[in-house]
Amino acid sequence: MNLEELRLNCAIKHLLIAMWVYPTLPEKMLMVIAMIFGAHLLPYGWLYKSKSYILFAILVPILSLIIGVSFEPYKLAIMMIIIEILFSICLIVENKKILSEFKLNL
């Protein structure tokens, strides 16, 4: 299986999950979308060999499930905004580290 087939396979499975949840529990759709977002980061962690992607691929679905089941949807949305900010900061730090290591090897 090549990378394109893997990506397509994951996308179809995620779409099927969302299509199943929407008519069954429409009030939990935000939670499901947040969990799908987190799950889709995992292949990029492998592809880019990125600890940030792997960490957030595991953290986002777990936190989304806990917050989504326990609290109102707006709290889940706030959590996702905070996670996106942290994720962006982690990626910036990771990229700066890679760039500095690259410059040292020149």
pLDDT in tens for each of the 106 residues of the chain? 677 787 777 777 777 777 887 888 888 889 999 998 998 898 889 889 999 999 999 999 999 999 999 999 999 999 999 999 999 999 999 999 999 988 888 7
Is the separation of the CB atoms in 36 and 68 below 8 Å? no
Entry pTM = 0.82
Sketch the domain layout of the chain as residue ranges: 3-105
* Interatomic CA distance for residues 64 and 70, integer angstroms: 10
* Interatomic CA distance for residues 44 and 57, integer angstroms: 9
